[in-house]
Amino acid sequence: MPFIFIFDEMSVILCRNVVSFSDGIPDEGKGIPYFYLTALDPTASNALKDQRSSLTLSEYNLGTCGKKDPENPTCAKITLIGKLKLLDGDSEETEFARTALFSKHSEMKGWPKSHKFQIFKLDIEDIFLINWYGGPKPLTVDQFLHTKMNELIFNADTSS
């Protein structure tokens, strides 16, 4: 997950980190990625200073690209761009996210309380989708959040 790393007011660099996420309980994802993060890790600590972030996912990890290289444009990739926001610890959304995260990543329940893990979400502002030759495909946040992933990957306009 790319995020902004701030050393001081004059030193800012783009960094990446591997993070686990969930957008809902298994087979009922809603499209909004949630994360269980600690400020001991730069992803969370820097999001608390500068929320700009993105999450890139590849169809390759699903095993549906066959023998194609992951960089092949016909092996879909999507980047969700937005703000990584800390959720209020007592909200309904936080409880939904906790359930979603723990249903897919059960070991998170046992992570050290002393690390003060908190729930974050990526508030999606823009989307970059590649699923065929010809450059990125236009996709609004509303389309992404209200389309089933199979429709998104297999029914996208490939005529470009």
Domains of the chain: 3-154 (2.30.110.10)
Please say whether the dihedral angle defined by the alpha carbons of residues 142, 148, 149 and 154, taken in this order, is positive or negative.
Answer: negative
- Average pLDDT in the chain: 87
Average pLDDT in the 39-67 region? 92
Beta strands in the chain (DSSP E): 3-8, 11-15, 34-37, 52-58, 77-86, 118-130
The predicted model scores a pTM of 0.83
CB 119 within 8 A of CB 97: yes
Average pLDDT in the 48-66 region? 92
Q: How confident is the model at residue 10 (pLDDT cuts 50, 70, 90)?
A: low
Q: Which residue has the tokens 């949630």?
A: 34
Short-list 78, 96, 76, 98, CA closest to 154: 76
CB 124 within 8 A of CB 142: no
pLDDT tens digits for 108-140? Answer: 999 999 999 999 999 999 999 999 999 999 999
